[in-house]
């Protein structure tokens, strides 16, 4: 979309001829669609390609501030194609630099700074209660931070619920019944032993 093919004899192809490119470089520049590159008259760049974000220059153009990001070297990977009689042909001169113009956004008129995360404060007097095998001597514990007196925490005292009189009577009756059953079993066992003796004597 937005591409208009040129004829092989178009006048704009002459700027990419070997004679026109003598002692010159081809730069590839990208910009937002609403920015006209005709407003870009001059541009100061850092000496190194692929500079850090802090070293990227900022220029004022119609519509606001724009940062200039330099891409990695593209001389071996990017070529410009021009139409010819037998089809498209690559220009002998490589693309020396690739630049990306990006709009600089400001929040509330001031540059946004990321909030630094503060180190979490640790409680004082922490003790290492778990000791792996072979660590230290028995009863010896390491401490983290400044030692402080441990706060004596009172353990909760649980009150025993009172058992109602009806429940106590039921438990007593149960004990009496169990005793009675055990006594009856013993008496039955003695009676069987006597019967066996009498039979033997007969």
pLDDT tens readout for residues 97-139: 888 888 887 666 566 667 788 888 888 888 777 777 776 665 5
Residue 120 is predicted with a pLDDT of 84
Helix (H), strand (E), coil (C) string for the chain:
CCCCCCCCCCHHHHHHCCCCCCCCCEEEEECCCCCCHHHCCCCCCCCCCCCCHHHCCEEEECCEEEEEEECCCCCCCCCCEEEECCEEEECCCCEEEEEEEEECCCECCECCCCCCCCCCCCCCCEECCCCCCCCCCCCCCCEECCCCCCCCCCCCCCCCCCCCHHHHHHHHHHHHHHHHHHHHHHHHHHHHHHHHHHHHHC
Residue 68 is predicted with a pLDDT of 81
Contact yes or no for 72/64 (Cβ under 8 A): no
Residue 46 is predicted with a pLDDT of 59
Residue 146 is predicted with a pLDDT of 56
Six token digits for residue 80: 């410009």
Residue 90 is predicted with a pLDDT of 82
**Any idea what the Cα angle at residue 53 is, between residues 99 and 27, rounded to 5°?**
10
What CA–CA distance (Å, rounded) separates 98 from 90? 17
Contact yes or no for 132/142 (Cβ under 8 A): no
Task: Kindly report the number of other CB atoms within 10 A of residue 184's CB atom.
Answer: 10
Contact yes or no for 124/145 (Cβ under 8 A): yes
Residue 58 is predicted with a pLDDT of 79
Residue 12 is predicted with a pLDDT of 58
pLDDT tens, per residue, the chain with 202 residues: 566 766 656 555 577 777 777 888 888 888 888 887 777 777 666 555 545 555 677 777 777 888 888 777 666 778 888 877 778 888 888 888 888 888 887 666 566 667 788 888 888 888 777 777 776 665 555 555 555 555 666 777 777 666 565 656 677 888 888 888 888 888 887 766 666 665 655 5
Task: Kindly report the number of other CB atoms within 10 A of residue 155's CB atom.
Answer: 6
Break the chain into its structural domains and give their ranges.
Answer: 11-103
């Amino acid at each position: 979309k937005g591409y208009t093919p040129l004829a092989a004899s178009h006048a704009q192809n002459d700027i990419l001829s070997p004679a026109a490119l003598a002692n010159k470089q081809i730069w590839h520049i990208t910009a937002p669609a609403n920015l006209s590159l005709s407003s870009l008259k001059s541009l100061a760049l850092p000496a190194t390609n692929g500079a850090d974000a802090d070293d990227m220059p900022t220029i004022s153009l119609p519509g606001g501030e724009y940062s200039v990001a330099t891409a990695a070297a593209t001389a071996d990977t990017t070529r410009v194609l021009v139409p010819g009689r037998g089809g498209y042909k690559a220009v002998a001169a490589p693309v020396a630099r690739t630049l990306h113009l990006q709009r600089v956004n400001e929040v509330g008129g001031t540059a946004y700074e990321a909030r630094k995360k503060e180190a979490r404060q640790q409680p004082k007097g922490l003790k290492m209660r778990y000791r792996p095998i072979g660590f230290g001597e028995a009863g010896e514990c390491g401490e983290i931070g400044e030692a402080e007196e441990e706060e004596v925490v009172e353990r909760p005292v649980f009150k025993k619920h009172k058992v109602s009189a009806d429940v106590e009577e039921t438990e007593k009756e149960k004990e009496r019944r169990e005793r009675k059953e055990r006594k009856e079993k013993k008496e039955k066992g003695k009676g069987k032993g006597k019967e066996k003796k009498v039979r033997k004597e007969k």
